[in-house]
Amino acid sequence: MCHINFFLSVATAGIPLAIAKYIAKYNAMEEYKIGRRLFKTGVYLMILSGIICFIAMYSLAPFLASLQQLEGGYSLEDGIRVIRAVSFALLIIPVMSLLRGFFQGYNSMGPSAVSQVVEQIVRIAFLLGSTFVVMYIVKGSVVTAISLATFSAFVGALASLAILMWYFTKRKKGTRSNASRRQRRASSIHSNALQANYFVSYSFYYCRFCNFALSAD
């Protein structure tokens, strides 16, 4: 669904990739404290942007559903229900992506790989299980089954986030033990990096939004 992809692009704004890049850079300079402060700031940004984009997509569901050409006898209310079900993934995926970028910045690909595998396994298991229960056990509607199928993105992301948090907690002491004692003015450095990244990213997302609006017409 193109709606969730657009809102995910706006919510993350390229921050996870920037986090991975700058953490790797400052680790090479032995400025571990700056990298961790940059990560902490990114967590707050991802939580805030995820909540904002979730509220926006949930509230705009009637408008987004009206842009779709619903076939097979499905009503506008059915489209709204499905869009709102998938919008919950916006609460988890930005922070999850940031944690993956954090581990990649430390050149540790294992947590990201494991979390992706777990995410897909849990997502598909929930999708198939919920659809089977709705259609064959409780004899529910197709719309309910589709809504739960799209909601599986949230469930899978939640499982992935749990794996990443486990790795983060496990390795927290190790990363702290390697931290440098040097004190630098990190606030100006990481804020400038984030501002530059947002400026470039949102110019790109504006173009994507224009293409989305033109395709809707």
Residue 85 confidence (pLDDT) above 60? yes
Q: What's the whole-number mean pLDDT along residues 4-23?
A: 80
DSSP 90: G
DSSP 72: T
Tokens of 134: 């709705």
Taking CA atoms, 43 is separated from 48, 59, 126, in Å, by 9, 24, 27
| Per-residue pLDDT, 160 | 94
| Per-residue pLDDT, 65 | 84
* Banded model confidence at residue 173, pLDDT cuts 50, 70, 90: low
Taking CA atoms, 183 is separated from 30, 31, 86, 149, in Å, by 11, 9, 44, 49
Q: Give the model confidence (pLDDT) of 21-52 as tens digits.
A: 888 888 788 777 887 888 888 888 899 999 99
Specify the pTM. Answer: 0.73
| Per-residue pLDDT, 107 | 81
Q: Are 15 and 45 in contact (CB under 8 A)?
A: yes
Q: How far is Cα 161 from Cα 92, in angstroms, rounded to an integer?
A: 7
Tell me what the pLDDT averaged over the chain comes to. 78
| Residue reference for tokens 């899978």 | 156
Q: Give the model confidence (pLDDT) of 54-78 as tens digits.
A: 999 999 988 888 887 766 667 888 8
| Residue reference for tokens 């293409």 | 211
